[in-house]
Amino acid sequence: MAYKQHFVEWFSGKQIPSYWTLTQIVSTCTATMSDEVNGGMLFQTDSGAGSPSASLTFNNKRQYTATGFKFFSVCKKGSDNNIGIKCGMGSSTSVNPDHHAFMVEGTLVSYKTLATKDGSTGTETASSASLSQDPFAYNIEGTSTNVTLGINNTLDITKTSNRPTDALQPFLYIQSRSTAAVKSYNVRYLECYNT
């Protein structure tokens, strides 16, 4: 459901709504509705070669301003081994959009991390929150002076460097860091809006 630029997604029903676009980056990944209670959307890689990965976005319909947005989500990683996820706001469907503000989890980092990129330079700042398979809520806010990351209602990071400046869209990403097994994570809720 979207009212102007206020978007709320509960990931409920039989299938992913058509405004989401799955972009295959390497190999084949799927985004389907989970059939478990409170499962939400199940984002899953295959077990093919070359680190299977994909993004789920609004297909470059970028209606959110980088200097005034809020993003909230609840997710759960399916494995602690050899999986990378990025969630937040990005300027394209690629693995590393030129402008972004992401929460990063999995073997891409050592702790839950805030990653930002300003069109040319991308940097990451680790939080104190450990990697885990437990469900967790997080929020990202972009203003004209900083980008913040909160995890489970606690502000963990305030970042003033390398902030995005271009228009953004919701961005979800998965990558298998090995070719041995299918990797997955669930997204139960997503909300974003301009402030």
Mean pLDDT to the nearest integer, 57-86 = 94
- What's the pLDDT score for residue 178? 77
SS3 state of residue 113:
strand
Mean pLDDT to the nearest integer, 82-106 = 96
- What's the pLDDT score for residue 36? 86
Q: CA end-to-end span of the chain, whole Å? A: 18
Q: What's the pLDDT tens digit per position in 126-138?
A: 999 999 999 999 9
For residues 70 and 72, give the distance between their C-alpha atoms in angstroms, rounded to a whole number: 7
**Is 10 a residue whose pLDDT tops 70?**
yes
**Residue 4: pLDDT band by 50, 70, 90 thresholds?**
low
**61, two tokens:** 């319909």
**Residue 84 in contact with residue 177, Cβ under 8 Å?**
yes
Domain boundaries of the chain, sorted by first residue: 2-194
- What's the pLDDT score for residue 181? 82
Place of tokens 């929020």: 139
Of 51 and 91, more confident: 91
**Is 1 a residue whose pLDDT tops 80?**
no
- For 2-194, the fitting CATH number among 3.20.20.70, 2.60.120.330, 2.130.10.10, 2.60.120.200 is 2.60.120.200
For residues 163 and 122, give the distance between their C-alpha atoms in angstroms, rounded to a whole number: 9
